[in-house]
Amino acid sequence: MKDLLVIGSRGSKLALTQAQIVKEQIQLLYPSLQISIEVIKTSGDVKTDPLSVIGGKGVFTKELEDALVGRRIDVAVHSLKDLPTIVPEGLAIAAICKREDPRDALVLPIRLSPAKSAVNINSLPRQATVGTSSPRRLAQLKHWRPDLVFKDLRGNVDTRMRKLDEGQYDALVLACAGLRRLRLENRISTALTTQEMLPAVGQGALAIEVRSDDELTTSVIAKLDHKFTRVACVAERAFLRRLGGGCQLPIAAHAVVREKRIRLSGLVADPEGKQVVRDRISGPLDEAEELGSRLAEQLLANGASELLGEHDSVPI
C-alpha cells in the first residue's frame, strides 16, 4: 500500500473543490493514506485571451499531464470535458467519477427574483446581453435566439457572478455541475434541458488520470470509477473522436443510460448557429464506443461533413 498520494489540480476554486472531492472519496476507502494536493498552473489559467483564441482541448490539461509523466504528481484530476479524446502514451484514465448534473444553467443577476423576471432563454428580452465563453453554447444560443447580444466571459465563477450582479451582463450560461460543486445551486435560475442546450462531451464528469505503469495507484483510483458514467462518456468521447477529436467546430453530445441501453444525442453547428446538424442513436451498453462512432457518421452524412470542411479554422 502507498504511504502518500499526490493529487495534481489546477488552482481555481472549482478545480481545487473537485480535487478535494476526489481526495475525500479516496480517504473514505483508505483512511490511513496520506494525500496532498499539488497546484499546477496550466496555459489556460495563465492566458487572458478568449478560449476561442487560445485553443480548445488540452489547454487546461497539458501541464497536469506533464507533471504526471514527470512524477511530480501521482494522479491528475480533470473536468472530463477539458480532456482530449486521445490520452497520451504512458497515461490512462483510471476512473471517471459519478457524474454531476450535466446540464447548462441560465444564471440571472441576484437582484432579480425568478418570479418577477425571465426564467428561461425564450423569455429574455430582445437585445439582452448574455455572457458565455463557450463556442458550443454560443452557437446553440445564436441558433435559438439570434436577437440576443453575446459577450465573451472569462474569469473564475466568483468573478463571473460579480460581473453579472454589477450589470455587465443580463444573464450568464454556466455549467450546473460547477455551480453545484461550489454550493451555488441557489444561483441557478433554470437548468436548461438537453433539448434546449446539448452539453459538452463529458460535461459534469471528473476524470482521474494516472501513469499506466503505476499499478498500485491505478488499483486505488479504479475503485472510484462509476460504471454507467464511464459507459456514457465512452460513447460521447467516441463521437467526438470520430469527428476529429480536436476539430474546430462547436460540438456537443450527451448520453443517458437507461435499462441497460444507451441513448446518445449529438450535435455539430457552425459558429454562428445558422446551421445545426443534430441526431441521436441508441443501443446496448457493450456497444458504447461503436454507437458514438455511428452517430458521428450519421451527422457527417447529414451535413456535418460540409460544416467541418468549411469552418476548420474556428476553435471548438
Non-local (6+) Cβ contacts of 284 within 8 A are: 260, 261, 262
Catalytic, out of 82, 104, 170, 214: 82
User: In one letter, which amino acid is 45?
Assistant: D
Question: DSSP 3-state assignment of 36?
Answer: strand
Q: Is 72 left (phi over 0), alpha (psi -120 to 50) or beta?
A: alpha
Q: What is the DSSP letter of 211?
A: E
Number of alpha carbons in the 13 Å side-chain half-sphere of residue 124: 27
User: In one letter, which amino acid is 155?
Assistant: G
Number of alpha carbons in the 13 Å side-chain half-sphere of residue 80: 31
DSSP β-bridge partners for residue 266: 253, 279
Question: DSSP 3-state assignment of 76?
Answer: strand
Question: DSSP 3-state assignment of 302?
Answer: helix
Strands 129-131 and 149-151: parallel
Closest CA to 265 of 314, 309, 215, 200: 200
Q: Is 247 left (phi over 0), alpha (psi -120 to 50) or beta?
A: beta
Q: Give me the phi and psi of 73, to 5 degrees please.
A: -130, 165
Closest CA to 253 of 243, 269, 238, 264: 264
The answer to whether residue 82 is catalytic is yes
Note whether 190 and 119 are within 8 A (CB).
yes
Positions marked catalytic? 82
